[in-house]
Structure 1
Amino acid sequence: MAALPEIASLWIGGRLSWLEQLCLKSFADAGHHVTLYSYAPVGNLPPGVHPGNAAEIFPGEPMLRHARTGSPAIHADLWRLHLLRNTRKIWVDADMYCHRPFDFETPHVFGWEKEGLVCNAVLGLPPDSPTLNGLLDFFRDEYAIAPWLKPSQRQELEAARDAGTPVHMTEQDWGFTGPAAVTWFLRETGEIGHARPQNVFYPVSFKHRNHMIQSRFDIPSRLGPETRGVHFWARRMKPRLEEKEGNRPRRGSYMEGLIAKHGIDPGAAPIPPKARPAAARRDDPAFRAEIGLAALRGEESVGQLCRRHAVDERFVKACRERIEQGATELFRDAAAGGSGT
């Protein structure tokens, strides 16, 4: 039997939470050699996971963080492409659980998240892959305008470029360098034919992610013989666990069973509170009213408002809905600077 492929991931930040420990250890327990790369030492790697120097793959400076969220996801998206060019390892997000060994005999390892979209939470490509090299070439231009965007989005970015104010990749909409980019290039090159069915890596959808931490849902029944991984969608699941669930899944849930299986102690590596940049500004009624009224006027697109005010699309829509639903007089007064007129 051929040796299992090596697995790699990247961690930018401090200590791991128990969720990352669980996922990384699951690959080691399945027989994979697992490397967690980082730019600084990670002090609480789980047993069987090896440290790696991320700078040997791709420099850590400048750190490419999303302008509105502060997330290093853009940097991680580019880092994984360089990993694939320079090694034969399979990339996995640190919130991907290994249900069964990734015993694939092909270097093309990726799958459908949903209809029309390949997720890059698992990504394996040969170094000479046209998709891989197309992505690396495209993102050399940090102000590139993506052909996979909607025509209206492209026109907006082209207008900014022609006006001498091109939009940097860190200021573009969330996910610019992620699954949409990978899917587009896979289609262009024909390598999309290697995409595996949704149930291989994403048997529990983003919409149903919290089913995995609640006891009333039978997750094993959703996993088939073809299932190799289970994505935990940590960007949204971790805040739920930290804020509402006492930092651990509920008793009898699918995820609680995995914690016991792999010997993970949630109390020793709690999920930290989610960072909320500019929270005071976002909570200011005057600021919310300003955003809501601007969105209603429609003189700028939602994307432009997000970039100009460093907020996300959900925040803009919530502000607009507040105005549409008939905000209180106090809220309207705040939009006028508290004059009451």
Structure 2
Amino acid sequence: MKLATLWISGRIHNLGALCLSSWLDHGFDVDLYHLGPVENVPAGVRLRPAAEVLPADLIPRLKPLRYTERANIQSTLSYSDLFRMKLMELGRGLWLDCDVLLFRPFDIDPGKPFFAWEDRHRIGASVFYLPEDCEMIRDYNRVYDHPDLMPHWLGFRRRVLKPALWRLQGKPFSPRDLGITIYGNDAFSRLIKKHKLTQYALGTKPFYCWNGKQTTRFFDPTDKWRLEDDPDITGLHVHCKTRPNHRPTPDSLFGRMLKRHADRLPADMTWQS
């Protein structure tokens, strides 16, 4: 199974370069889609234009109107969420976020969905695969075709009550003002239940044994749990990326993984002091 991910443009942080290196070292073919020039890419990663999957002109349409302070980050996050579902429709491989570090290889059945619980309530969006004929993909096609990219799967409060209140107040808004993960985790969690796909969900341990702020332990040299030695842990989504370009201490999980994948890392990798 090919692995696919997205980096909009610019230099990939060193943590991301490490993660990509770990995918290659475990024998995967890796496609990195991008919209602009990218740097710090490990040798062996195949660069592909993101626009061949989803047009770049979608990004300006994904900006919130009310919460303008998060316009740039949310537009790229929302593009990424929609992008990975279009990848599924096109059969381009299994999606991993650039901050998912692999400890060992794994296999999947291409005819079955593959994802995991992020916590007790939400499906993770960082490790995700659907077969091309999965009905859940059709829900996203309805969004692409909507003039305002409005998702139809939101709950009653965000789908009806909030828009009605803002209209009464005469306040402009876009669907992106209804939440930063409306196309991602929130959507996946709702649609997977709708299509009765929860039977395929792995537990949290394979990819989300540390979640959210817990992932700061990745940088902590005093943490004694050696995730890489636990056969039930396939990888780790490093959600909290504190100091991703600062050289870690050798005893941290970050430091140990840099040593493990040293031969694959970009030769010109630089570190901040």
TM range (shorter): 0.7 to 0.9
CA distance in 2, matches of 1:261, 1:222: 11
State the 1:125 CA deviation. Answer: 0.1
1:91 lines up with 2:95 in the alignment = yes
Q: Name the structure 1 match of 2:243.
A: 241
Residue segments in structure 1 that go unaligned for 5+ positions in a row: 273-341
Aligned residues: 261
The Cα offsets for residues 28-74 of structure 1, whole Å up to 9 and x where unpaired, read as 11000001000123233102211011111011113234643211101
Give the direction of change, closer, same or farther, for the CA distance of 1:82–1:221 in structure 2 (3 Å limit): closer
Q: Name the structure 1 match of 2:27.
A: 31
| AA in 1 matched with 2:89 | R
State the 1:166 CA deviation. Answer: 5.9
Q: Is the 8 A contact 1:17 1:271 kept in 2?
A: no
Give the direction of change, closer, same or farther, for the CA distance of 1:164–1:102 in structure 2 (3 Å limit): farther
Q: Is the 8 A contact 1:85 1:132 kept in 2?
A: yes
CA RMSD of aligned residues (A): 2.6
Q: Which structure 2 residues correspond to residues 64-143 of structure 1 after superposition, within 5 A? A: 64-65=62-63, 67-69=68-70, 70-71=72-73, 72-106=76-110, 107-138=112-143, 140-141=145-146, 142=148
Q: Is the 8 A contact 2:154 2:182 kept in 1?
A: no
1:228 lines up with 2:224 in the alignment = no
CA distance in 1, matches of 2:139, 2:33: 24
The correspondence for 2:45, drawn from 35, 49, 74, is: 49
Give the direction of change, closer, same or farther, for the CA distance of 1:145–1:43 in structure 2 (3 Å limit): closer
Q: Which structure 2 residues correspond to residues 260-279 of structure 1 after superposition, within 5 A? A: 260-263=259-262, 264=265, 268-270=269-271
Identical counterparts, % of pairs: 24
Q: Is the 8 A contact 2:136 2:195 kept in 1?
A: yes
Residue segments in structure 2 that go unaligned for 5+ positions in a row: none
Q: Name the structure 1 match of 2:223.
A: 217
Please state which structure has a larger fraction of its residues in helix.
1
Give the direction of change, closer, same or farther, for the CA distance of 1:51–1:152 in structure 2 (3 Å limit): closer
Give the direction of change, closer, same or farther, for the CA distance of 1:231–1:146 in structure 2 (3 Å limit): same
Q: Is the 8 A contact 1:29 1:48 kept in 2?
A: no
Q: Is the 8 A contact 2:117 2:204 kept in 1?
A: yes
The Cα offsets for residues 209-241 of structure 1, whole Å up to 9 and x where unpaired, read as 1111111112325864232221111xx32xx31
| AA in 1 matched with 2:206 | V
Q: Is the 8 A contact 2:100 2:237 kept in 1?
A: yes
Q: Is the 8 A contact 2:58 2:79 kept in 1?
A: no
Q: Is the 8 A contact 1:203 1:223 kept in 2?
A: no
DSSP-derived class of the 1:241 partner: coil
CA distance in 1, matches of 2:272, 2:127: 23
Q: Is the 8 A contact 2:152 2:159 kept in 1?
A: no
DSSP-derived class of the 1:52 partner: strand
CA distance in 2, matches of 1:188, 1:131: 9
DSSP-derived class of the 1:217 partner: coil
- Larger mean CA deviation between 107-116 and 159-168 belongs to 159-168
Q: Name the structure 1 match of 2:2.
A: 6
TM-score, with normalisation over the residues of structure 1?
0.69
The correspondence for 1:156, drawn from 147, 151, 162, is: 162
Higher relative contact order (CA 8 A, sep 6+): 2
